[in-house]
Each structure stands twice: as structure tokens, then as C-alpha cells.
Chains A and B, each alone.
Chain A
Amino acid sequence: DTEVTQTPKHLVMGMTNKKSLKCEQHMGHRAMYWYKQKAKKPPELMFVYSYEKLSINESVPSRFSPECPNSSLLNLHLHALQPEDSALYLCASSPHAGAGTGELFFGEGSRLTVL
């Protein structure tokens, strides 16, 4: 199994809603990532988990809350988002934690629209 699975594929939410994005991998990878991608732009790193611990938070607003329940799962909890948070949210994993080699395995993304 060489896939990173993200759900839901599409999500529409209001600014007062609470929702979650989910990501799952069964490749035994030790690092998992959340990226945000706006249209026609490269992915921007949000969070990195290494061995289930948050190792990097790229100054992301607190309305985004990551969670890593176990080595295979990664969640992104969303609350009180703004319309400018509308984007494609990509989950990725890599075999090595820490610095890593830069080889990432991406899911297909969750396309979020905030109304």
C-alpha cells in the first residue's frame, strides 16, 4: 500500500463551523505533513509531525489545529476560518523523520471552500 488517503475530497464550511480534515497512510512512514496550496501556487508547509510529535509549526493561525492520534493518522481541525483560507489542503508523508531526504508522498488533497 503506497497511498496517502485524504478525506473529505471537498468541504464547504461557514466561518462559524467546526470541521476536520483527515489523512491516513499505511506505509510505516515516520513523518507526516500538512501543506496548503492556493491556485497556481506551490504548496506551503503548515505543520510537520515526526514520530507523532509536532516538530514544525510554520506560524500557522490557531484556527488550524493539527492532531496526530497515531503513526498512521493525521488530522487538521478547522474552526472559525476565513474566506481566504479556501485552498487545497495536502497531506504528505515521508519515510524518515527529522531532516529527511525530501521525498514526500502526497495525498490527493481536500479542497476547502469557506463561505
Chain B
Amino acid sequence: AQSVTQLDSQVPVFEEAPVELRCNYSSSVSVYLFWYVQYPNQGLQLLLKYLSGSTLVKGINGFEAEFNKSQTSFHLRKPSVHISDTAEYFCAVISLSGSARQLTFGSGTQLTVLP
């Protein structure tokens, strides 16, 4: 079985400050990892993904994440946030074995960027 834990339900941060949204996963097999963003009254949008290769993954809107296998983490970072980054962020995992592999979402982190 696979699971995802997002350690912070809400993260307030001032504009132009750096931010880190934390994500830890649990799986007995190799995984693919994702961050999705959901702006108010919209669907989810893929921010970035880790499938293989370099553990530092760059995504859209200046976000990046680092896959750490030993710590089973996939934290999302941005060096300088904007008001427009205010949204709900979901970490997600899919295991690479099993016949019915589906995406498992974390509980979400509400990022609020303050002026």
C-alpha cells in the first residue's frame, strides 16, 4: 500500500519570501511522485513530477522539488513567492507495481501569500 503525508495543512508566507511545502510518502516499492496545484474554484494542475533520473525536479511557475529516497520525502520549494501562488497544493504518489496502480493524494497544504 502507498500513502502520502503532507505535514502542514496551512502555510502563510509573505510575498517574495521563500517557501517549502513538506511531503513524505510511504511505499514498499519504487514510486513516481507529483505535486499538483489547485487555484480557487478550479481543477488541479500538474506542477511537477519525479519519474526517474535527477532527484531535483523543476516545474512550472518557478517551483522545484527534491526527491530524497532515504528520507522518503518530496518537498516543494520556491525561492520567492507571489500573491498569485496562493492556492492548495497536493502531493501525490503512484507505486510502480501492482495491477491497479492509481494516484494517492495527500491531504493538501493551503499556501497563503500575504502582501
Contact = CB atoms under 8 A, between A and B. Distances in A.
Given A99-B101, A100-B101, A42 B45 contact: no
Contact of B32 (A6, A55, A101): A101
Interface residues of B, number: 27
Nearest to B97: A99
B43 A106 contact: yes
Interface in A59-115: 90, 92, 99-109
Contacts of A100: 94, 101-102
B35 to A, nearest CB: 11
B44 A43 contact: yes
B100 A102 contact: no
B106 to A, nearest CB: 7
Contacts of B46: 103-105
Contacts, number: 62
Contacts of A105: 46
Contacts of A107: 43
A45 B101 CA distance: 12
B90 to A, nearest CB: 6
A90 B43 contact: yes
B42 A42 contact: no
User: Per DSSP, are chain A's interface residues mostly helix, strand or loop, or mixed?
Assistant: loop
Given A102-B49, A107-B43, A108-B42, A45 B102 contact: yes
A92 B103 CA distance: 12
Given A102-B34, A103-B34, A106-B45, 19 more contacts: A6-B43, A40-B110, A41-B107, A42-B107, A55-B100, A56-B100, A92-B43, A92-B44, A99-B99, A99-B100, A100-B94, A102-B94, A103-B46, A103-B49, A104-B36, A104-B44, A106-B43, A106-B44, A109-B42
